[in-house]
């Protein structure tokens, strides 16, 4: 493996890890407040559909992004009503949201676009374009030189290859996801809101005794979760791909939950866990049809590799992951 190939794999890792990271941070806010959310998959899926549909109809990716966030927040509020207001089982509510999103997106897409449960392909201003950072070799340089971009990058030095291939050229949502990690750490560990949010996930009775609304804090966490899931779903449909297709999240919400447990509900560890799972996906996509001697490894084996290794990592390498003490339990105020 040469250096450029390694850089390209890391570039794919970053792109594939972005929706996982946004969804993982979404779950972190929710579960830190004591609300377990297995419905990350469903909220990402509804956001992916809404963003692609509205981006196509309006011709603006920003309108699509807003629509995706709103759709995800609506499902988050539904989960909040079921789990916080009506004190229902949080896991059942999350599973119901996943089923609802899986069916609703296909039905609406078929009724709206009549293309078998998918949206038309997005192009132009309906998609997020990559940011060409200063001093990076980008499409404009390739057009000026009249040569393929890959050829220009291959002839550049190692530092320029890293800057042009790995750092530059991503959509804005990739950089938003990376900035969201230190922002989440700062909110949770350096603000009064974060202190109260963590406290309500550990001991809601003490928070209530201090005169702080447990319900208000948990709804705030659920709404933040909806915003981040909306960003994750919109990224899938308008940046990583060019439109919505049935079940396009492909289990990413569950991998994000696995990354959340692997990171033990800590933002910086969540970044490392998501990059690890993104790397597994990047390797699986790049090395399909690999031959070992006379044996060709089936494509299905490579595609299942990230999920299999996720189970192995959680089973053997995480150790004891202790969730928030009040997680999963509805709060009943004492009278």
The predicted structure's pLDDT at residue 5: 86
Strands (E), the chain: 291-292, 295-296
- Is 331 domain-assigned? no
Total domain count for the chain?
Answer: 1
- Is 35 domain-assigned? yes
Min mean pLDDT across 20-34, 41-55, 59-73, 122-136 is at: 122-136
Task: Convert the pLDDT of each residue in 44-97 to its tens digit.
Answer: 999 999 999 999 999 999 999 999 999 999 999 999 999 999 988 999 999 999
pLDDT band at 311, cuts 50/70/90? confident
- Is 134 domain-assigned? no
d(CA 18, CA 239): 11
The whole-number average pLDDT for the span 180-204 is 95
Max intra-chain CA distance, the chain: 76
Higher local confidence (pLDDT), 295 or 259:
259
- Is 291 domain-assigned? yes
- Is 299 domain-assigned? yes
What is the crossing angle of helices 3-32 and 172-190, to 10°? 40
Start-to-end C-alpha separation, the chain: 66
- Give the 3-state secondary structure of residue 123: coil
The predicted structure's pLDDT at residue 80: 94
Given a contact cutoff of 8 angstroms between Cβ atoms, the answer to whether 229 and 76 are in contact is yes
Whole-structure pTM value: 0.93
List the domain range (segments joined by +) for residue 188. Answer: 3-129+139-316
pLDDT band at 289, cuts 50/70/90? low
CATH code of the domain covering residue 160: 1.10.3470
- Is 56 domain-assigned? yes
315: left (phi over 0), alpha (psi -120 to 50) or beta: alpha
d(CA 256, CA 26): 9
- Is 111 domain-assigned? yes
For 315, counting Cβ atoms within 10 Å of its Cβ (0-12 exposed, 13-18 middle, 19+ buried), the class is exposed
d(CA 84, CA 96): 16
- Is 330 domain-assigned? no
């Amino acid at each position: 493996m040469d250096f450029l190939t390694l850089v390209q794999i890391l570039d794919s890792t970053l792109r594939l890890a972005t929706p996982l990271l946004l969804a993982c941070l979404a779950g972190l806010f929710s579960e830190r407040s004591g609300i377990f959310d297995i419905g990350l998959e469903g909220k990402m899926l509804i956001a992916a559909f809404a963003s692609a549909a509205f981006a196509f109809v309006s011709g603006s990716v920003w309108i699509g992004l807003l629509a995706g966030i709103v759709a995800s927040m609506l499902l988050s509020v539904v989960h909040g009503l079921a789990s916080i207001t009506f004190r229902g089982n949080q896991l059942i509510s999350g599973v119901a949201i996943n089923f609802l999103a899986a069916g609703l997106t296909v039905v609406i897409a078929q009724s709206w676009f009549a293309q078998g449960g998918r949206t038309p392909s997005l192009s132009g201003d309906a998609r997020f374009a990559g940011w060409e950072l200063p001093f990076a070799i980008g499409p404009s340089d390739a057009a000026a030189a009249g040569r393929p971009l890959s050829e220009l990058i291959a002839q550049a030095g190692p530092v320029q290859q890293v800057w042009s291939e790995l750092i530059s050229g991503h959509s804005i949502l990739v950089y938003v996801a990376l900035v969201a990690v230190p922002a989440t750490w700062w909110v949770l560990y350096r603000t009064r809101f974060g202190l109260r949010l963590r406290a309500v996930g550990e001991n809601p009775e003490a928070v209530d005794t201090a005169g702080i609304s447990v319900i208000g804090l948990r709804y705030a966490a659920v709404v933040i979760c909806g915003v981040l899931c909306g960003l994750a779903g919109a990224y899938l449909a308008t940046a990583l791909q060019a439109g919505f297709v049935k079940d396009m999240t492909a289990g990413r919400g569950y991998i994000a939950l696995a990354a959340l447990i692997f990171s033990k509900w800590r933002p910086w560890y969540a970044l490392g866990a998501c990059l690890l799972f993104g790397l597994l996906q990047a390797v699986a996509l790049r090395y399909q049809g690999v031959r070992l001697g006379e044996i060709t490894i089936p494509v299905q084996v490579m595609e299942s590799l990230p999920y299999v290794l996720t189970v192995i990592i959680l089973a053997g390498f995480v150790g004891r992951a202790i969730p928030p003490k009040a997680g999963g339990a509805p709060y009943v105020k004492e009278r």
